[in-house]
Structure 1
Amino acid sequence: MSNTAIIVATWGDDTWPGTPDLPLATLPAAQRAVRERTAEMTGDLVVRLRAGVYTLDRPLEFRADQGDSGVGGHRVVYEPYGYGTAEQEEVVVSGGRAIGGWTRGPGGVWSAPVGDLEPRWLHCAGRRIGRAVSTAGLPGYVTKTEFGYVTDSAIPQGWAGPDGIEFVYTGVYPWTQARCAVAEITADGDSTRIVMAQPAWDHARRLYVGEWNGAEGNDAEGDAGWEPLDAPSEVENSRTFLTEPGTFVLDRSVPGSHLVHYLPRPEEQPDTATVLAPVLQTLVSGHGTARRPLTDLTIRGLTFAHGEWSGVRETGGYLHYHGDTHYTGGAVTEIVLPEGMGRVTVPVDTAQLPANVTFSHARRIVLAANRFTGLGAGALEIGPGCTGVVVRGNTVHDVSGSGIAVRQAADCLVEDNLVHAVGAEYRGSPAILLAATRDVVVRHNEVRDVPHAGIVVLGGESARGAQIIGNLIHHTMTVLADGGGIYVSAPQGSSFAGGTVLRGNVIHDTITSYNFGLYTDYGAAWVTVAGNVVHRGDTPAVLTVAPPLRHVAFLGNYWDDLPMGHDDPPETVYLAGNTVLPKEDFEAALAADPAGADIIASAGRRPLRPE
């Protein structure tokens, strides 16, 4: 059977044959046409999409058992028309819904019905519209209780739409931001009673229990009275706070007939602009089984946008702990921090923030030159059972959670991607995450403008062989503390030969206090940290953590200060050939050193290579 390209256009018709003159109209129709042809493939089978927005009413699911895999060494390819040329057309795969029926009210606030939707953000003219927020916190003298809070201020009683309000706790632990929804606000004599939504509030009170005595360079230094959940740092989603142009409020006062109230930016006119609400939680998924994985699928040059995540609505909160994990109940345990810094409570089990595009049990999948933007969960997850997946030359931007997550996968490559402005809602989310992976390479990416850590490598019994090479990582830790440009945790194999290697990375401008540019933490073992450049952070590295580091070697790095604990490192932490250059003239001194100059010149993204 012919492998002639299948053409799709927004003006097409799904009853047509998918030719240039008679294109199909939708991605599901193109997928059906692919499935009819894969069994008899004699070459790559290509779906070419003409310019436009392709709105999905359900997730696009690629399945190994339904004919979505390439056959006989050939690939199934989805790409825009003109891919790789100056005439490449712009194609958006959207999980959103356009909002109509706008009316203008007092104060320039526009309102529109959204039915039973509960969007946490909107999208207009390529920009995210966030929820109205008050950074004044909770007024008055506040007491935390088993049901929520009592305050002697009557001001919260006047907050509009109390059952839609959400409290935000930035730094509930220094590396953590939590969210808890409000159930009701009522008068209680001369005070105000604020009842928080369950089960999240009970879970939050179980998890966020600790004592933070601070550390050198930390704003909390000496604060032995620090109490998690004492009061929120921000309050979101009340029309009372709708004073900043470019923000909105979701009004749920009439069940099933919700409204959005939007105060537009001066240049926007909601009744003539396209304002989108995210609807689908999964835009694209691909999966098979261990015995029959999804194989030989390439997706390139597309934009994925307008996905959501309803987890906060379902549980009443987002109780972040670390990376892209959050606590949903169950057992907890206590960890005593080193050097008298205090103690924290740790969940035994956590849930992962999902991604809007996800793959599992997939092999030889290529995701190249795509754009992930305007997404309400994580952007992309390469999940369990994946092998030989290549993520190359993509751009990830404006995402509520993490950027690229690789979890329980092997022999994958993440290279030449730009990941920035992630963690828009879930601030602890990393730009690039490896969790329990084997022999995964992350190289020549640029990571910037993220609220916590840049690249995170989590270890464990099955982890080995991660290589983090030649990445440019800057302006990380812009909101939360106790993290780094690169963060490595737990054992990374059983020897230096099979352990994790951090080499040739350039890390600068790690912003908040109490951070480490290169952070090996929580019993990290079998890690080689060689030939990296670290400057303009709190401290370039730390040698004394709990549980202690074992078999970690810092070799030939350039930094602008000595690591924390350098004067008494653990016996199995090795330092050799590292160079400290002056802070005030670091870049000039580095440029004068041939080896240092070469690290700078080699780090970061390279031009995209043809697939």
Structure 2
Amino acid sequence: MFHFHVAPSGDDTWSGTAERPFATLERARSAAREAGGDVVVHLRAGTHLLSRTFELTAADSGRDGRRIVYQAYGYGTPEQEEVVVSGGRLITGWQERDGVWVADVGDLDTRQLYVDGRRAGRAAIPGIPGVASATVTGYVTDSADPRGWHSPGDVEFVYRGIYPWTEARCGVAGVSAEGESTVITMAQPAFGWAAKLYNSTWEGQTSSGFGLPTRIENDAAFLREPGTFVLDRSEAGRHVLRYLPRPGEDPERTWVVAPVLETLLRAVGTRNVSIKGLVFADATWLRPSRAEGFLHYHGSGYYEGGDVETAVLGEGASVTYPVASESIPACVTFEDVAGLEIEGCRFTRFGASGLGVAGAEIVVRGCDFDSLSGGGIVVSGGRGISIEDNWVHQVGLEYSGSPGIAVSGAQGCTVAQNEVADVPHCGIVLGSGEGARILRNLTVDTMRVLADGGGIYLSGPQGSSREDEALVQGNVIEDTRTPYNFGLYTDYGASWVTVEGNVVMRADNTAVLEVAPPLENVVFRGNFWDADPIGHDNPPSGVTYEGNVTLKDEQDMNAATADIRSRAGLLRRRAGSRTPRR
């Protein structure tokens, strides 16, 4: 077996030994290619700054039964070192002006900032000042305040609740005076696309387009709350970063990092590689800052123009939706890989989703996902994927529709013993696929921001018979927060699913049996609820409802479900080893 070492203080002209480590992952990758056998690349303590995406290809595979391992030095032992792989840039040269830290940052472009490891929010106000109304190209208000915005072209409007499950973003093109009124012109094509995409009728009320914003971000005039920042890009190549510090922070001692790279690690076609014990941190996603904005529809999907269709939700109720959509990317991605293991890693401080897996065979085990603008783990296609013993929390911080774990189009995917907590929408999402196993997971405090979802949410066909159906078993779903949710939600034509031995508590609704398109070949058996599911007393023809128990008293519920609850959630928390980072 070959061993190579990489350290921030190393040198790529050295031999890669423990005493003379390489400086970069690229040099270690080259050495691993040349070795031709089992290889372990040990990353030493510190921050390994990436100037470009670290790429793994088929040439970086373990061959003939061998493996290539990239791991933190001492992985799995008490001496394991803290290793951070970062796509960020340390901000220095601060000047203090009227209590605000100001730095000239050249051509830096980012949507996030981290101060001593803590996420700083973009400075914001709650909406358009004054009495405002929408126009064909934007808005008009009787307030003169928007004319005082320092850099209108960097201002972004946020629209929460266009549909109950939707939150969109659109930039400002300009601000001007028209008599005593102020005209706000919005960026195109985003504003025009919104009028095409968002059209709904509900209880006799019809709406079209964005409506009024619920939040406005990123201008120096909004810097009022400590711990917030603004990036002014009004002068090309002379961008200015402003930060309003929290009490006790000092520009000489405080570590301020702006994420620069959009992808830290990309593996395509790679075989038999393990990645263990690494912290992946500090990446951004700039696409929402473009003139196309971020026209969210549902989950991680957003609109890029094109045709829309109308979904009829009931008598007198309908919404339009995109025929095709794109998905929020991940900052670490694996495509068409096999025999891959991701173990004991942390994915944090990202401006998009954490880990993206497409058309792959991979195991993701014992990892933490936190402080992410998008979702935690996103799987699209592939077979034999295992997602187990991962802790996903504080995700969807910028894109509130993002689920903790999402799987679609996969065959034989297992999502087991994970804990998903403190997320703005769904905890675990299962789209159409075949033979999925959703087992003994714990979801807590889901659906904190947007509505119409659940702690566990399934939609579409999940197989073609009992032999290849989806099994949702032994999960505990607690505290599904917003109104208009279903803790355990089989939706939109879900078929060939068995939902068995789960516990649902403190949801707006525990479950629903009557949806459109209807459920087919769905079995609810032996579940415990603290309130009866909607439609339980007259299940539709496609649903078998048997042996389920409703216990409205919490003490009775806890006693009856103690065994299920003891088995759900993180294995490592119960084992007392590698406990999650709080």
* TM class, shorter-length: over 0.9
Q: Counterparts of 1:421-570 in structure 2 under 5 Å?
A: 421-459=394-432, 463-570=433-540
Matched residues in 2 for 1:497 and 1:315: separation?
48
Q: Counterparts of 1:139-218 in structure 2 under 5 Å?
A: 139-213=129-203
Q: What residue in structure 2 maps to residue 220 of structure 1?
A: none
The Cα of 1:466 is off from its aligned counterpart by 0.9
Q: Counterparts of 1:187-586 in structure 2 under 5 Å?
A: 187-213=177-203, 224=205, 229-288=210-269, 294-338=270-314, 340=315, 342-384=317-359, 386-387=360-361, 389-459=362-432, 463-582=433-552, 585-586=553-554
SS in 2 for 1:516: coil
Q: Does 1:88 align with 2:80?
A: yes
Matched residues in 2 for 1:256 and 1:403: separation?
33
Partner amino acid for 1:342? A
SS in 2 for 1:160: coil
Is the 1:173–1:228 Cα contact (8 Å) retained in structure 2?
A: no
The Cα of 1:80 is off from its aligned counterpart by 1.0
Partner amino acid for 2:221? T
Matched residues in 2 for 1:117 and 1:342: separation?
46
Q: Which of the numbers 16, 19, 22 marks the counterpart of 2:17?
A: 19
Deviates more, 1:540-549 or 1:55-64: 540-549
The Cα of 1:341 is off from its aligned counterpart by 6.7
Matched residues in 1 for 2:262 and 2:245: separation?
26
Is the 1:529–1:553 Cα contact (8 Å) retained in structure 2?
A: yes
SS in 2 for 1:117: coil
SS in 1 for 2:356: strand
Q: Counterparts of 1:124-135 in structure 2 under 5 Å?
A: 124-135=115-126
Q: Which of the numbers 73, 77, 92 marks the counterpart of 2:69?
A: 77
SS in 2 for 1:210: strand
SS in 2 for 1:157: helix
Matched residues in 1 for 2:488 and 2:291: separation?
35
Q: What residue in structure 2 maps to residue 607 of structure 1?
A: 572
Matched residues in 2 for 1:226 and 1:330: separation?
20
Matched residues in 2 for 1:376 and 1:235: separation?
18
Partner amino acid for 2:280? F
Is the 1:141–1:151 Cα contact (8 Å) retained in structure 2?
A: yes
With over 3 angstroms needed to count, the CA separation of the structure-2 counterparts of 1:225 and 1:54, relative to structure 1, is: same
Is the 1:120–1:130 Cα contact (8 Å) retained in structure 2?
A: no
Query: In the TM superposition, what whole-angstrom CA distance separates every residue of 1:258-299 from its partner, at most 9, and x where no partner exists?
Result: 0010001112223432211111111001012xxxxx111000
The Cα of 1:141 is off from its aligned counterpart by 3.1
SS in 1 for 2:169: strand
Partner amino acid for 1:142? A
- Give the RMSD, CA atoms, in angstroms: 1.6
Query: In the TM superposition, what whole-angstrom CA distance separates every residue of 1:176-216 from its partner, at most 9, and x where no partner exists?
Result: 11011111111112211111111111111111111233xxx
Q: What residue in structure 2 maps to residue 217 of structure 1?
A: none
Q: What residue in structure 2 maps to residue 291 of structure 1?
A: none
Deviates more, 1:567-576 or 1:413-422: 567-576
Matched residues in 2 for 1:89 and 1:545: separation?
51
Matched residues in 1 for 2:572 and 2:121: separation?
34
Query: In the TM superposition, what whole-angstrom CA distance separates every residue of 1:87-119 from its partner, at most 9, and x where no partner exists?
Result: 10000000011111110001x100001211221
Q: What residue in structure 1 maps to residue 49 of structure 2?
A: 55
Partner amino acid for 1:410? R
The Cα of 1:402 is off from its aligned counterpart by 0.9
Matched residues in 2 for 1:567 and 1:232: separation?
42
Can you give the 5+ residue segments of structure 1 that lack an aligned partner in the other structure? Answer: 214-222, 289-293
Is the 2:156–2:169 Cα contact (8 Å) retained in structure 1?
A: yes
Matched residues in 1 for 2:273 and 2:490: separation?
36
Matched residues in 1 for 2:135 and 2:15: separation?
65
Matched residues in 2 for 1:592 and 1:481: separation?
30
Percent of aligned pairs sharing the same letter? 51
Partner amino acid for 1:604? G
The Cα of 1:160 is off from its aligned counterpart by 2.6
Matched residues in 2 for 1:138 and 1:569: separation?
47
Query: In the TM superposition, what whole-angstrom CA distance separates every residue of 1:434-481 from its partner, at most 9, and x where no partner exists?
Result: 01111100000000000000001111xxx2111110000010000101
Deviates more, 1:305-314 or 1:147-156: 147-156
Query: In the TM superposition, what whole-angstrom CA distance separates every residue of 1:27-52 from its partner, at most 9, and x where no partner exists?
Result: 111111111112xx1xx310011100
Q: What residue in structure 1 maps to residue 558 of structure 2?
A: 591
Is the 1:212–1:341 Cα contact (8 Å) retained in structure 2?
A: yes
